[in-house]
């Protein structure tokens, strides 16, 4: 039987049971702090109105539908059904908070093995269950996904802040990187002034001698320094060849795979358009 506990809107224990529960939670759980509730994700306008549409999942023979109705009706109060269950080919950007389309098909996610039988609709379905207090063996993976995208060191949160600085805008200027903002919203997060100021402060602290160079120049130098160090390591033999006595070297293969992903990500950065947006392929 699945255990449940009462949560506040950020997914943490309420004040009443906070002291008794928090010490029993894993550290990973305590670092999971989305600032949008499941209801807020949809009331703001997300997924072009298609998230809870009937789907054909690879995990089930029958079509899945009405999955959202197992959650409290208060979550969907005031939200038209057409903003929740419309077909994917009827995706409406006007429904989305930032008026842009992001995301890929469910089939793409299934092919990448990013979905699980417990939550065939994906991350938001998992978050809805988690918010209700349910726990599963997929929690660690899903929380790590959130952290890598949306957490304090999440690549998309950091990229959004970099774009704001680069364009000399304010933290809440919605004209800067609307696609990034829409994606963050799909992951239960909206940039706040506090988070923006903290990131800027941390970046300044990381610069030795209090350098006054621009954030863009600093990030570029940091990246160039990292690449130089990687090349030095390769020359010094710190990375072993692909095989050792005929046995595949998994450490080297992981290194190469990571480098390939980084290069692809860097190419995407070069393709950023005037609004500071990635190509749609980066958003699932």
Residue 92: inside a domain? yes
| Residue that terminates a domain, selected from 135, 151, 167 | 151
Cα separations in angstroms, 52 against 47, 174, 198: 9, 26, 35
CB 7 within 8 A of CB 15: no
What is the average pLDDT score of the chain? 79
Residue 159: inside a domain? no
C-alpha to C-alpha distance for 19 and 231, rounded to whole angstroms: 49
CB atoms within 10 A of CB 140: 12
79 Cβ contact list (under 8 Å, min separation 6): 42, 43
Q: What pLDDT is recorded for position 267?
A: 52
Residue 251: inside a domain? yes
Q: Do 197 and 254 reside in the same domain of the chain?
A: yes
Q: Please indicate whether residue 240 or residue 198 has the higher confidence score (pLDDT).
A: 198
C-alpha to C-alpha distance for 29 and 110, rounded to whole angstroms: 26
Q: Do 21 and 147 reside in the same domain of the chain?
A: yes
DSSP assignments along 267-283, one per residue: HHHHT--TT----GGG-
Q: Do 37 and 145 reside in the same domain of the chain?
A: yes
- pLDDT by residue (tens digit) across 213-233? 566 676 677 778 777 877 777
Q: Do 213 and 114 reside in the same domain of the chain?
A: no
CB 269 within 8 A of CB 262: no
Q: Do 201 and 250 reside in the same domain of the chain?
A: yes
Range of the domain at 39: 15-151
Write down the pTM of the prediction: 0.69
C-alpha to C-alpha distance for 275 and 283, rounded to whole angstroms: 16
Q: Do 141 and 30 reside in the same domain of the chain?
A: yes
3-class DSSP state for residue 64?
A: strand
Q: Do 144 and 187 reside in the same domain of the chain?
A: no
> What is the CA 267 to chain-centroid distance, rounded?
20
Q: Do 21 and 139 reside in the same domain of the chain?
A: yes
Residue 217: inside a domain? yes
Q: Do 75 and 200 reside in the same domain of the chain?
A: no
| Residue that terminates a domain, selected from 97, 132, 151 | 151
Half-sphere CA count of 202, side-chain side, radius 13 A: 11
Residue 166: inside a domain? no
- pLDDT by residue (tens digit) across 79-128? 999 999 999 999 999 999 999 999 888 888 888 888 899 999 999 999 99
C-alpha to C-alpha distance for 257 and 59, rounded to whole angstroms: 29
Q: Do 54 and 92 reside in the same domain of the chain?
A: yes
Residue 5: inside a domain? no
3-class DSSP state for residue 176?
A: coil
Q: Do 28 and 139 reside in the same domain of the chain?
A: yes
Residue 25: inside a domain? yes
Residue 173: inside a domain? no
CB atoms within 10 A of CB 111: 12
Q: Do 20 and 147 reside in the same domain of the chain?
A: yes
Under the phi-then-psi rule, with left for phi > 0, alpha for psi from -120 to 50, and beta for the rest, what region is 49? left
| Residue that terminates a domain, selected from 134, 151, 168 | 151
Q: Please indicate whether residue 154 or residue 216 has the higher confidence score (pLDDT).
A: 154
3-class DSSP state for residue 109?
A: helix
Q: Hunting for tokens 């941390």 — which residue is that?
A: 202
**Based on the structure, what is the number of domains in the chain?**
2
């Amino acid at each position: 039987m699945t255990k449940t506990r009462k949560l506040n809107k950020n997914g943490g224990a309420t004040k009443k049971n906070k002291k008794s529960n928090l010490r029993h939670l894993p550290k990973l759980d305590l670092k999971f702090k989305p600032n949008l509730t499941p209801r807020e994700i949809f009331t703001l306008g997300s997924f072009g109105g298609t998230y809870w549409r009937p789907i054909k999942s690879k995990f089930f023979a029958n079509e899945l539908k009405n999955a959202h109705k197992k959650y409290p009706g208060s979550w969907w109060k005031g939200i038209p059904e057409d903003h929740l269950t419309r077909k994917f080919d009827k995706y409406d950007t006007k429904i989305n908070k930032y008026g842009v389309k992001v995301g890929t098909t469910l089939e793409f996610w299934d092919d990448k093995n990013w979905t699980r039988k417990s939550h065939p609709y994906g991350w938001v379905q998992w978050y809805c269950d988690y918010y209700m207090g349910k726990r599963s063996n997929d929690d660690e993976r899903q929380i790590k996904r959130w952290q890598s995208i949306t957490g304090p060191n999440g690549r998309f949160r950091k990229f959004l802040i970099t774009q704001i600085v680069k364009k000399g805008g304010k933290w809440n200027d919605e004209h800067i990187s609307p696609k990034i903002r829409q994606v963050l919203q799909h992951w239960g997060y909206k940039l706040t002034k506090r988070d923006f100021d903290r990131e800027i402060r941390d970046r300044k602290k990381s610069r030795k001698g209090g350098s006054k160079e621009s954030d863009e120049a600093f990030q570029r130098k940091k990246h160039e320094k990292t690449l130089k160090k990687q090349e030095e390591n390769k020359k010094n033999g710190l990375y072993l060849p692909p095989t050792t006595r005929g046995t595949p070297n998994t450490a080297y293969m992981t290194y190469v795979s990571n480098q390939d992903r980084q290069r692809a990500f860097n190419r995407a950065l070069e393709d950023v358009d005037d609004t500071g947006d990635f190509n749609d392929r980066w958003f699932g």
